[in-house]
Structure 1
Amino acid sequence: MSDVPASVSGSVRDHVPLAKVAPPELPAVVVAETRAARLLAGPPAPVTVLVAPPGAGKTVTLTSWLGSTPTLAGRVAWATLDRNDNDVASLWTTLLAALRANLSLASDHGIAELSSAPTAAGVDEALIRQLGVLLGPQDPPFVLVLDDLHEITEPDALASLELLLRLRPRGLALVLAARYQPGISLHRLRLDGSVREIGPEDFVLGLEEAGQLLASLGHDLEDEDVDALWRRTEGWVAALRLAASELQRGADPRQVARTFGGTTPTVAELLVFEVLDHLPSETREFLVGTGACRELTPTLAERLTGRKDAGAMLEELHQRNALTNRLARGEGQEPVYRYHDLLRGYLGNELQRTDLPRWRQLQGELASWYADRRQWRLALEHAVGSAEQDRVHAVLREAGVGMVLDGDGPLIERLLDDAQGTWRKDPVIGGLLAASALARFDAVTADRHLAAVAVAPASNIDPAGDPWLSAMRATVDLHRARFSSEVATALRDADIAGVGDTGDVDLDLLGLIQTGVARVRMGSPVGSRRDLERALHLATSTSRDFPRVTCLGNLGALATLAGRIPECDEHLETALQIARRRGWDGSQLTAQLHVLVAWWALLRGDRSTARREITALPPPPTLGNPDMRVAAAALTALADHLDGAPARPTAIRLRSAWDQLGDAETTPELACMLIPWEAKLWLAADDPVAAEEAARRREPDLDGSAEELLLRVLLARAKGLPAAKARRWLTPAHTGDVRARFAVNRIWVWLLAAQLAAEAGSTQASYEALTQAVRSAASDHLVGLVDAFGPATKDLLAANRGRFGRHEGFVTELLEWRSTEVAPTAALALTPVEEAILRELPTHRTMADIAELRGVSVNTVKTHLKSIYRKLAVQGRREAVEEARAQGLL
């Protein structure tokens, strides 16, 4: 028997294939839940309209919803439409066949009364009334799904559907699914709130959902690979499934994540058959001619194609969901459109393959377009694509320094990664490639670029010839010199070349940052501060937040060295506020900020803040700046030590942080900041040899400083130098005749001077040195710094309690502060022999018995016992046993 009423026109097919009127089977692996699925969940709306591009998951989402809604079981009719349904009679024949295919309706005698369908001559309202009688006022209603409704474009057919929507029986819910908005009016339905609309954006998978989909397809990828695929596919379900297919064939996940795109064969096939083949030939040609653009306006599209109707074509592509989005713009602004990244990749590759000269010509047009609008990233990308060296030179000459300042150096390097050798010899291109490499602390790559540049050294260039180029090269050379011992020469050449005074704001800003940092190395903090403050003014006045954060961080470091702690706090707080607002926190840019905040938190005894800031740092091995690699690793180790980690393991970690640098240069001030702590830890661990090695590690950086004298005296005292002689050695640092490069180290100098004076019997001199240390530390609440110098300091403070005037409260707090001194816990500080002797102390064995048992002399046992008592800070055998039990050693 035929599924088509006998009265239907003979032009109508006399059979409707079962596949057209059967709901699709749910795939074994369903799409991860999207916003569309959540909007669809629950009872059906009177009318539901789903619109999304091909492969978005419309059909699967509908099938899943119907299958997971128990109240709809047996109450669904499904019609998959195609171009053969694009007339009234054919359309309704399929709709009625879908209703008859439902088992519950097929058993109803009323279905036979639906014996006619509208003809091309008009729309039959009686049929819809008959349908209403058949269905009745059911709750929940019967659901009729019309899938692929975009295939229906014939006016009378659309009019018949509008009639169905207007006269829809109460017992019928309609679900309309299409690739783009169907040509029927939904205005009245929107006004009375009876339509639920689900659009393309509701079908896009989020990052987490994309990972779930890939995992459900058997691919549990690393987070960074999921992120890369999600960004490349823009959450398009079909594309993610194709990526999974590539992985299924055994492709390397990292490679797929890096290369998957519009040129991947399966993706290209999808784009052709599901998108491009459905468009007119002139529209396809328009797409190819504009596909090189990341974003385009009607004006730009007209310039590229010469078509006056470019705006209308873009809007049509957007309305048809042809992977073309219209971006939000302010009122009165020209609309901006964006092609899906996969489509853009395919279109660009297709034009390069078929007409490379035209591709390059379009790239040149785009480079000029974006350069005129000062959109330099895009201008450079398209200039490179044009294969014209002069264009690339012009863009970089105009904006390259600014791009480096704004953190776009990696983009410059990526775009020019495959540049011709002749390009690299261009002084502007090569110089800025070197500047980009140096911005990420890669001196080796920078040297390669500088060697390729066919320009004489900056000092030999006549400034009258090209002052800008001379200053740019001198700026880059100075930055490079910061990684070597040639800073003085490079700084002199930079001053000769007029670095910082060219009148080019970007170049002056970059130059002043370099000279500001370099002058610190040359012992000129005043000049450094002057240059960095000028650079900060330029960055602020031109609204350049990236270099502004850089300047604030360097000024904070300068204030740290000088001991201007409130000023440092202000700079760091401002810089972190900017970085957090711009989404840069936790990056290489903010590493210095977090290091400095954590450092001062440790010195203030604020361990929770120190931990928080250390957590915000990238892992030390990933940091490009050698200073930050050492500082981050050292801070982490010191924080662990102040929380109870023993001295020896902490000192080993500090030594390892330096060793991992190899030959990389660091600023001298970093050595002055960290090496006294490391040496103190080695001495606390009773290892003066390692302490001496630490002091020699960066000997040139310490030369002539108070830190050098501090270390020299500490090491000499460990070897038994008398206190009186040690005081004389320390005097130049104590009096300030020898300057501390890291200002707060003066506090340790004064504390050591106080200890030495007390040991030498000079009580008043000890008190005066101690008072100097307390006065300096109290003003910035440096509890942690004073406490870390060791228990002898607390003994002196306790002995002089009541003599510190307005700083008495600080001293009281320090004495009551729960400290972990820069000393080991006894368990790990004791040598294996000492541990063995310690285990004999609770017994009744005498020293002679222990000596005989160990096979050594009594004097050797006495020597070990003295070391045990010192490390446990006790006076005798009974106290040693009690303390060892308290520490869990026995």
Structure 2
Amino acid sequence: MEHDVPRRSRVPRLKTAVPALAPNLVTRERLSAVLDRAPSAGVVWVCAPAGTGKTTLLTQWCGGRAGATPVWVSLDADDNDEPRFWSALLQAVETGVPSVRERPVSVPAHPSEDPEFLATIAEALGSVAGGAVLVLDDVHELTNQATLHGLAGVLRGLPRTARVVLSGRAVPGAPLTRKGLGVSVTEVSAEQLRFTAGEAAHLLAEAQPDAPPGTLPELMRRTEGWAAGLRHAALELRAHAGDGRDMAAPAAVRALPAAGHIADEVLSAMGERDRQLVAALSVCDEVSPELAAALSGRPDTEARLAALERGSVVARRQVPGGTRYRLRAPFREHARAVLYRRDPERAARLAGVAAEWYAAGAEPAAALAHACASRQSGTIRAVLRRCAIPAVLAGEHDLVRRALAALPAETAAGDGLLALVAAFVRVEAGEAELAELDLVRADALVRYRAGTETDTLRRLVGARIRRITGQPDDGGDNGDAARVVPSSPLEAMVQLHRADLLLCRDRPGEAGELADSALRAARAGRADYVVARCLTTLSGVAALRGDFRSMTELASNAAAADAEGPWEAGTAAAEAHLLLGYGALLRAELRCCLQHVDEVLRLLDRHRTGAHGTRLVATTLRGAAESERGERTRGLHRVCSARDAADTGRAPGIAVLLCGFLEHRLALDLHRPDVAVRARERCHEVAPGSGEIAVMRAREQLASGRHGPAARVLRPALTERLPMALPWSTVCAALADAEIQQLAGRSREAERALVRAMEHAQSQNVLYPLVVAPPLIGDVLETGLGRFGACEPLARRVAAARRGLPQLAPLTLTERERAVLGLLPTALSLEEIADDLTVSLNTVKTHTRAIYLKLGVTKRADAVGVARAHGLLDDVHLTVAG
């Protein structure tokens, strides 16, 4: 075909030039590899919505293909004019193929129907050394069927050296289909174009090299890997990098303006009905096909969802029982913002529809969230009455609180069930006083019928209030009623309360049976909050049984559930951390113990309440850990202060015994027999027949150097005539026996007793008594290393742990020397000290010289300093004196 004068439409040169790349772009090798693998003489479709990085990808790919010649045309709606389209294509070919420029080609009158003209273009693309790559960008703009048919003719006639890439927002229709072209087609989808976490990390590093942890996950959550959203956020981060604002923090990322104009461009390209569907779906994070139909009121909703999924505006996932759809995060945020701004009445109405749908489908959390979003008091009240109890049992406490707060005061005040629900939420947060007020209001409005859910809830709330406030409660001793298999999470909660009461009464066997039964019912009902509470109770059961490995595992699972759950961590979570702190102390992991008990005290302080004994045990554990880390004075003072502040009459006996047992040893280590005796007496009040009392009496005798009497008082504990209430006390009894045998000069028996202690410790995973044992036991341990057989690994762990603890040499002062030492920090002269103690001046001087000699000092001020370092001088006497 010859043309004397080229006949063409005028085309801007930028239209046929490969676009310039912006700086700091991420090279996406995985996508370039997909393009490279596409067969020759084939077609690649890159189909995805606006802002997904199609043009950038192809620009980078063209620039990175050594030897290949790019032939690029950026299309627009004007290219539906045939002469203009073919003129642009010819200009692009001439730009990349010099030989074509030498023989100018005109556009015939009907180019799409001229086989010779189409063949000329195909041949020109095949004549390039190294091959040509024809890229038609924004091909979705082509709607002229004649042009599409002509383009299909070119593609079918391409030689094997040429490649074609069609890029646009939708897959080209007929005749550019696989069947219509009859050539190999490779597709790069919108899903493939999404940035991976690694690619997004590269982009973030370019924008903000020192971004703190959490920034990348937040960016990915907000954009779902959408290129435009990520690049927009990166530009914002880079723009604010030097203005002193921490724009890379996750909270700041959430505050970044979204790439709304790009999302709007994508949504605006849809038809009106699809835009309305997207607006309706935006009120929900995720929908089933049925809910989507209810929101849109359209019978063809599922088909349209499939179309939107192909356009990557909607994502789909399979769940048990069906399919769920969701708008991608950038589009959902934009569409939701536009809906609530332009048509708030429709938004509220749609939220109400969703609330009723979720309530009917037994999805209480979603129902309550959408009821609150509807701002319709009638909907909120109806959903609360239907969903509040299962929502609380699932841990959605904050949602229930929000829904209750959203009701008009007169509506909430006149509904007894809602008052009862409010009491339930408050008591689970430890707000006993407010819960009692709500319960009084509920009792005035509700007529309880035995066996109903309302009656069960009423009994549970009342029992929980009594436990928190320390009132008498016999709910754990209901005989056969306590062993009824719960049929619902609410009944499981009631049974769990009974288990807790039995646990406080040192009946772990019965408590464990009830808690196991409650756990099965809670899991069957998918009540995550009740499951977490059951795990905490079972952890306490394991503690009383001496299974400290299981105790730690169960408490860890409960604490993890509390951290991940939607409920606010409260006093129940504090109990899980208390058990973890207890386990850490028993393993001699002192830093870990301090971390957990600090979390316990933080939670109790925030809620200003907690079961009696929880604060006492937590503070005692903290004092014990501090003491073993070298802060002996502070540790014992903390323990004594906690004991004085606690209402030990309302605390569980086992908690009082544990705290007294720890205090007793700390007091003896600090040469405070008076404090130790008082601690033993308190333990005797709650556990008079326990082996721990014998161990404490033996320790007191040993502290006075009387190993004979110590052996006599210890014997009933060693022969198990006196049972141990604290399982790990068996280790302490064996250690006391080892000390007695060593003091009596029976080294071999002392070593055997130490082996018994290590056997008990090994079976229970307990190191603490061994690590803090007296120096005499440490000597037996060190000299026996290598002879402990199966206990050798444990012995070496204990020896290493002992070497890592600060060791203070034991100092023994007489009672009169302690009295004089206690007055040395004052401004009193020796004469005034003598008058105060009603002794002679010479007696005071004699005691003072003895004190200096024992402390290795020559000055009064030095004596005070050394005494404090050894824990011999502190404010403990002020605590016990009162």
Shift of 1:507: 0.4
Are 2:352 and 1:361 equivalent residues in the alignment? no
Give the corresponding residue for 2:48: 52
Q: 1:78 aligns with which of 56, 72, 75?
A: 72
Q: 1:314/1:857 Cα in 2 relative to 1: closer, same or farther (>3 Å)?
A: closer
Are 2:479 and 1:488 equivalent residues in the alignment? no
Give the corresponding residue for 1:111: 101
User: Is the partner of 1:50 in helix, strand or coil?
Assistant: strand
Specify the code of the residue in structure 1 equivalent to 2:267. L
The answer to whether the 8 A contact 2:212-2:248 is kept is no
Shift of 1:382: 1.8
Hey, what's the Cα distance between the residues in 1 that align with 2:640 and 2:130?
73
User: Counterparts in 2 of 1:635-654, with a 5 A limit?
Assistant: 647-648=629-630
Hey, what's the Cα distance between the residues in 1 that align with 2:10 and 2:89?
13
Shift of 1:532: 0.9
Hey, what's the Cα distance between the residues in 2 that align with 1:139 and 1:280?
45
Are 2:415 and 1:443 equivalent residues in the alignment? no
Give the corresponding residue for 1:159: 149
The answer to whether the 8 A contact 2:654-2:725 is kept is yes
Shift of 1:209: 3.7
Hey, what's the Cα distance between the residues in 2 that align with 1:824 and 1:198?
61
User: Is the partner of 2:163 in helix, strand or coil?
Assistant: strand
Specify the code of the residue in structure 2 equivalent to 1:648. G
Q: Using the TM superposition, name which of 274-283 and 131-140 deviates more.
A: 131-140
Give the corresponding residue for 1:141: 131
Give the corresponding residue for 2:113: 123
Are 2:824 and 1:819 equivalent residues in the alignment? no
Shift of 1:620: 4.7
Structure 2 gap ranges (5+): 605-609, 812-846, 858-882
Shift of 1:82: 0.8
The answer to whether the 8 A contact 2:694-2:713 is kept is no
Specify the code of the residue in structure 2 equivalent to 1:337. Y
User: Is the partner of 2:499 in helix, strand or coil?
Assistant: helix
Give the corresponding residue for 2:14: 19
Shift of 1:60: 2.0
Are 2:224 and 1:234 equivalent residues in the alignment? yes
Shift of 1:558: 0.8
Are 2:534 and 1:551 equivalent residues in the alignment? yes
Shift of 1:216: 2.1
The answer to whether the 8 A contact 2:581-2:595 is kept is no
Hey, what's the Cα distance between the residues in 2 that align with 1:213 and 1:225?
12
Shift of 1:793: 4.3
Q: Using the TM superposition, name which of 108-117 and 30-39 deviates more.
A: 30-39
Give the corresponding residue for 2:305: 314
Shift of 1:379: 2.0
Q: Using the TM superposition, name which of 302-311 and 764-773 deviates more.
A: 764-773
The answer to whether the 8 A contact 2:19-2:59 is kept is yes
Are 2:88 and 1:94 equivalent residues in the alignment? yes
Hey, what's the Cα distance between the residues in 1 that align with 2:398 and 2:529?
14
Q: 1:276/1:481 Cα in 2 relative to 1: closer, same or farther (>3 Å)?
A: same
Q: 1:464 aligns with which of 426, 444, 449?
A: 449
The answer to whether the 8 A contact 2:45-2:165 is kept is yes
Specify the code of the residue in structure 2 equivalent to 1:317. L
Shift of 1:81: 0.8
Q: TM-score scaled to structure 1, two decimals? A: 0.72
Give the corresponding residue for 2:330: 342
The answer to whether the 8 A contact 1:296-1:337 is kept is yes
Matched-pair identity in %: 24
The answer to whether the 8 A contact 1:430-1:450 is kept is no
Give the corresponding residue for 1:270: 262
Hey, what's the Cα distance between the residues in 1 that align with 2:233 and 2:645?
43
Give the corresponding residue for 1:842: none
Shift of 1:581: 13
The answer to whether the 8 A contact 1:325-1:338 is kept is yes
Hey, what's the Cα distance between the residues in 2 that align with 1:162 and 1:662?
91
Specify the code of the residue in structure 2 equivalent to 1:506. P
Deviations 1:748-792, CA, capped at 9 Å, x for gaps:
135325645875899999999889857755765767755653454
Give the corresponding residue for 2:490: 507
Q: TM-score scaled to structure 2, two decimals? A: 0.72
Hey, what's the Cα distance between the residues in 2 that align with 1:660 and 1:255?
43
Q: 1:828/1:58 Cα in 2 relative to 1: closer, same or farther (>3 Å)?
A: farther
Shift of 1:398: 4.3
Are 2:726 and 1:742 equivalent residues in the alignment? yes
Deviations 1:81-102, CA, capped at 9 Å, x for gaps:
1111124433222222222334
Give the corresponding residue for 1:853: none
Q: 2:61 aligns with which of 48, 55, 65?
A: 65
Hey, what's the Cα distance between the residues in 2 that align with 1:357 and 1:310?
22
Hey, what's the Cα distance between the residues in 2 that align with 1:390 and 1:338?
28
Are 2:460 and 1:475 equivalent residues in the alignment? yes
Give the corresponding residue for 2:814: none
Are 2:720 and 1:720 equivalent residues in the alignment? no
The answer to whether the 8 A contact 1:637-1:654 is kept is yes
May I ask how many residue pairs the two structures share in their alignment? 798
Hey, what's the Cα distance between the residues in 2 that align with 1:187 and 1:32?
30
Deviations 1:350-383, CA, capped at 9 Å, x for gaps:
3334444433332222222222322333222222
User: Counterparts in 2 of 1:608-647, with a 5 A limit?
Assistant: 620=599, 624=603, 647=629
Specify the code of the residue in structure 1 equivalent to 2:278. L
Give the corresponding residue for 2:522: 539
Q: 1:371 aligns with which of 343, 346, 359?
A: 359
Give the corresponding residue for 1:528: 511
Hey, what's the Cα distance between the residues in 2 that align with 1:388 and 1:469?
25
Structure 1 gap ranges (5+): 802-806, 832-855, 867-890
Hey, what's the Cα distance between the residues in 1 that align with 2:644 and 2:316?
52
Q: 1:455/1:222 Cα in 2 relative to 1: closer, same or farther (>3 Å)?
A: farther
Shift of 1:504: 5.6
The answer to whether the 8 A contact 1:535-1:551 is kept is yes
Q: 1:61/1:110 Cα in 2 relative to 1: closer, same or farther (>3 Å)?
A: closer
Hey, what's the Cα distance between the residues in 2 that align with 1:33 and 1:701?
73
Hey, what's the Cα distance between the residues in 2 that align with 1:58 and 1:21?
17
Give the corresponding residue for 1:36: 31
Hey, what's the Cα distance between the residues in 2 that align with 1:373 and 1:38?
46
Shift of 1:16: 1.2
The answer to whether the 8 A contact 1:242-1:267 is kept is yes
The answer to whether the 8 A contact 1:709-1:730 is kept is no
Give the corresponding residue for 1:519: 502
Hey, what's the Cα distance between the residues in 2 that align with 1:129 and 1:694?
106
Shift of 1:238: 1.9
The answer to whether the 8 A contact 1:295-1:338 is kept is yes
